[in-house]
A and B are shown apart, each in its own frame.
Chain A
Amino acid sequence: MNSASLLLIVFAIALAGWFLGRRRALAMAGGDARRLHSLSGHHGQAVFLFAAVPALLVMFVWLFVQPIVTEARIGDAIRANGLFRQISPSLVMSDVRRVAHGLDLMVDRGQIDEKGLAALGADGSELRARLGRVGVAVGGNVGGDVLAAARTLRRDNHRGAVGMAVAVVAVALAGLVWSLSRISVEFRARNVSENFVLTLFFGASLVAVLTTIGIVGSLLFETVHFFRIYPARDFFFSFTWSPQFRGGSDLGIWPLLWGTLYVSLVALILAVPVGLMSAIYLSEYASKPLRAVVKPLLEILAGIPTVVYGLFALMTVGPFLRDMIAEPMGLGSSSSSVMTGGLVMGIMLIPFVSSLSDDIIHAVPQGLRDGSFGLGATQSETVRQVILPAALPGIVGAILLAASRAIGETMIVVMGVGAAARMGLNPFEAMTTITVKIVSQLTGDTEFASPETLVAFALAMALFVFTLGLNVVALVVVRKYREQYE
């Protein structure tokens, strides 16, 4: 039985509970709903919730925990077996998983029955070929241990699925019966079901917290793991980045950090003046119709996915800069460069800076403008000497937020800046950033226990801490600023 049909069964039970609860409540009141403390609908709702929610919770936890338990058991068996000392257990585990999946497919397609499966020997290439026929590719011939482990895995999975179905249906029915038995004329079904719903709402608000915990936890866990096999000193103080397949990698963060900051700087140099000036122009000078046209246009720029900007960098801006500036001036011949990525990222940030600045400029009270005009200041003097200083903290906050966006941006730099870890000054050279390296170290076939892969988590940790710091400072600054004019 798969999870989807189990889900349907639980809902059917809960729905039945809803009708039964209503009926029972009405029957107890002798058909006169006015005698009930709560409406009959509330009684139905309470039964529905008690039948559905605990059962779903059990199902969710089961689905999450079962693979961990079974795989841990099999993993222990694998580790206990001396044969696998040379290969990492996780590789063997994935083989086991694949074989088990293939066996499932073979059974599903009727190519073999359970009896035949039990008789199946690990006679090397034959099983591999049969697996291949159902679309499961196995790296080598399937050994006897792997096959045994795969059989265990299948059996455990199967038992788990049955166990889960039984447990979930039992919990649903128990909830149904128990909550039905609670129904009486005085039963405060409305309060009970409302409190239940409120608890669910509270639970929902915890998802965001759990996400943060998940992020910090997984980053921290793998980063510690990384520093156990790679010295932290080299990571933080080395100026070279050269991962090797056969160990002996140099994994210094500085070239990546340099590239990240350089690209972000170029982006901000474009985005801050342009974004700020267009916000000023649109809020202080532009006529209403112009504003009504231009503002949404700039907002479109904000809604364009970053992969589009990346493609723009790759196909249009990069070649243009290379052919028009870099090559004629002898500055380089790469179309991926800090300049390419920086300019395109700057374009992406223009609407970000301008809409934040726009909000902030609007928060400056009209009285200050009047005061300045009343003294005979021109509009630009008012803007430069009264509005901007007044809005400065907010604008600084906006710039910090933009910087944090720039540092964390991935697709534009992956497609526009390049992958060469280098600490140069020439903006027409390809460099690389933290985010590019996170992507390149974690995509493709990677071995999970090597420092070359785990370094991505340390890089992500650095990125997270960096952007979090910027965000917190920016939010505090902006909040302070808002309070000033409240």
Chain B
Amino acid sequence: MSDATGLKIAARDVDVFYGDHHAIKDVSVAIADRTVTAFIGPSGCGKSTFLRCLNRMNDTIDVCRVSGTIELDGEDIYDRRVDPVQLRARVGMVFQKPNPFPKSIFDNVAYGPRIHGLTRSRGELDEVVENALRRAALWDEVKDRLSAPGTGLSGGQQQRLCIARAVATAPEVLLMDEPCSALDPIATAQIEELIDELRGNFSVVIVTHSMQQAARVSQRTAFFHLGDLVEFGETGQIFTNPQDPRTESYITGRIG
């Protein structure tokens, strides 16, 4: 694993097409290890699409084509020899809408470790599940009802369950696609706190609509507009001293 400030994912000259629609235009981004990188931009600017390229979730969409290179620790993830399954075990994802499986809380979290064969015994699995739930700050709320269905939790709890589920697989990168958009402010605050904590072990990439959120949780920010990467840099610099007039318009609320 690379050191704390090293490069984790390097995307170069990435283009994405949805059928005839050119969704991402020649984007290059370098994502550092153990930092939180935020993708911001108006709706439809391609930030989620780009995020989904980073663990090849776009493979599940027939009409989507990706060109350019995206490297994880120096290996091209779009290489023909790469199995997307193996990739996604290392680059986990949390989605906009909480999507717990219709199984028990325990089985939800244990799903990743089980399919990837990460544990050898039931005891080990219990430990992994507990750790993941603790890290997602959910353990205290659910420890007495691990066999209750995950779908019975509140929205914020469900999203933290999904984060725990992703964490349990021990990924190196965690992609989060607007993880708070379906949540109320209190749940949002909890999740943001969590993201800040996760930074200690993972590199986190978060797509968000909210500029305040990006400013609160991220160290680096990329601004997308109409499929272009307009500006990418330190979060503080982007928000206080944007280089591009479009970025400035967006963060001051003139486009969006």
Q: Say whether A associates with B.
A: yes
Interface residues, chain A, with chain B CB atoms under 8 Å away: 287-288, 365, 367-378, 381, 385-386, 389-390, 484
- Known contacts A376-B88, A377-B115; is A371 also within 8 Å of B95 by CB? yes
Type the 1/0 row for B88-99, where 1 means its CB is closer than 8 Å to any CB of A: 111011110101
How far is B90's CA from A116's CA once the two chains are assembled, in angstroms?
Answer: 104
Contact of B162 among A287, A371, A376, A377 (CB under 8 A): A371
Residue contact B62 to A288, C-beta cutoff 8 Å = yes
The chain A residue with its CB closest to the CB of B175 is A374
- Per a CB cutoff under 8 Å, which of B60, B62, B86, B111 touches A375? B111
Assess the B97–A367 pair: CB atoms within 8 A.
yes
| B111 proximity list for chain A (CB < 8 A) | 372, 375, 377, 385-386
CB distance from B43 to the nearest CB of A (A): 19
Q: Is B238 an interface residue (CB 8 A)?
A: no
Report the Cα distance A374→B169, complex, angstroms: 10
- Residues from chain B with a CB closer than 8 A to the CB of A386 are 101, 111
Chain B residue at smallest Cβ distance from A393: B102
- What are 19 of the A-B contact pairs (CB < 8 Å)? A287-B62, A368-B101, A368-B102, A370-B95, A371-B162, A372-B101, A373-B57, A373-B88, A374-B93, A375-B112, A376-B87, A376-B112, A376-B115, A377-B85, A378-B85, A385-B111, A386-B111, A389-B101, A390-B101
Given the complex of chains A and B, what is the CA–CA distance between A377 and B166 in angstroms?
12
CA distance A288 to B92 in the complex (A): 29
A193 and B174 alpha carbons, distance in the complex (Å): 68
CA distance A390 to B169 in the complex (A): 22
The distance in angstroms between the C-alpha atoms of A232 and B115, with both chains bound, is 57
Cα distance A287–B62 in the bound complex, in angstroms: 9
A376, B86: Cβ atoms under 8 Å?
yes
- Contact yes or no, A374 B115, CB < 8 A: no
Q: Does B247 contact A (CB under 8 A)?
A: no
Do B102 and A389 touch across chains, with their CB atoms under 8 A apart? yes
| A364, closest chain B residue (CB) | B102
Q: Contact check: which of B62, B88, B97, B100 meets A374 at CB < 8 Å?
A: B88
- Assess whether B65 is interfacial by the CB under 8 Å rule: no
- The answer to whether the Cβ of B55 comes within 8 Å of any Cβ in the partner chain is yes
List the 8 closest pairs (A to B, CB-CB), nearest first: A374-B93, A376-B89, A376-B88, A367-B99, A371-B99, A375-B112, A390-B102, A378-B85
Q: Give the number of chain B interface residues (Cβ < 8 Å).
A: 29
Main SS of the interface on chain A? helix
How far in angstroms is the closest Cβ of chain B from A376? 4
B47 at the interface (CB under 8 A from A): no
| B134 CB within 8 Å of chain A | no
Complex: A325 Cα to B188 Cα, angstroms: 67
Residue among A368, A369, A372 facing the most chain B CB atoms (10 A cut-off): A372
- Select from chain B the residue with minimum beta-carbon distance to A371: B99
- Complex Cα gap A459–B210 (Å): 69
Nearest CB on A from B251, distance (A): 29
Asked if B160 is an interface residue, CB under 8 A from chain A, the answer is no
Q: Is B116 touching A376 in the complex (CB atoms < 8 A)?
A: yes
Contact A370/B85 with A375-B92, A375-B112, A385-B115 known, Cβ cut-off 8 Å: no
Q: Bound state CA distance, A43 and B112, in angstroms?
A: 73
> A385 CA to B108 CA in the complex, in Å?
11
Q: How far is the CA of A376 from the CA of B90 in the complex (A)?
A: 8
Q: How far is the CA of A365 from the CA of B151 in the complex (A)?
A: 13
B135 adjacent to chain A (CB < 8 Å): no
Report whether B92 and A369 are in contact in the complex, using a CB–CB cutoff of 8 Å.
Answer: no
Give the docked Cα–Cα distance between A381 and B115 (Å).
8
Cβ contact of B99, chosen from A287, A368, A484, cutoff 8 A: A368
Q: Is B225 in the interface zone, CB < 8 Å from A?
A: no
Additional A-B contacts beyond A368-B101, A374-B95, A390-B102 (8; CB < 8 A):
A288-B62, A367-B99, A371-B95, A371-B162, A374-B57, A375-B93, A376-B112, A378-B115
- Provided the pairs A375-B166, A385-B115 are in contact, do residues A370 and B57 lie with their beta carbons within 8 angstroms? yes
**Bound CA–CA A178/B97 (angstroms):** 66
Contacts of A389 in B (CB 8 A): 101-103
Q: Is B220 an interface residue (CB 8 A)?
A: no
Is B165 interfacial (CB 8 A cutoff)? yes
A374 touches B101 (CB 8 A): no
Contact with A along B192-221 (1 / 0, CB 8 A): 000000000000000000000000000000
Q: Which residue of chain A lies nearest to B96 when distances are taken between CB atoms in the complex?
A: A367
Residues of A within 8 A of B57 (CB): 370, 373-374
Q: Give the residue name and chain of the B residue nearest to A369 (CB).
A: B60
CB distance from B128 to the nearest CB of A (A): 13
CB pair A375 B102 closer than 8 Å: no
Q: Which residues of B contact A288 (CB under 8 A)?
A: 62
Residues of A within 8 A of B86 (CB): 376
B112 adjacent to A367 (CB under 8 Å):
no
Task: State how many angstroms separate the Cβ of B125 from the closest Cβ of chain A.
Answer: 15
- For window 44-96 of chain B, which residues contact chain A by CB distance below 8 Å? 55, 57, 60, 62, 85-90, 92-95
| A295 and B90 alpha carbons, distance in the complex (Å) | 37
A381 vs B89: C-alpha distance when bound (angstroms): 14
Query: Are A374 and B60 closer than 8 Å at their CB atoms?
Result: no
Least CB separation from A375: chain B residue: B112
* Contact (Cβ within 8 A) B99 A375: no
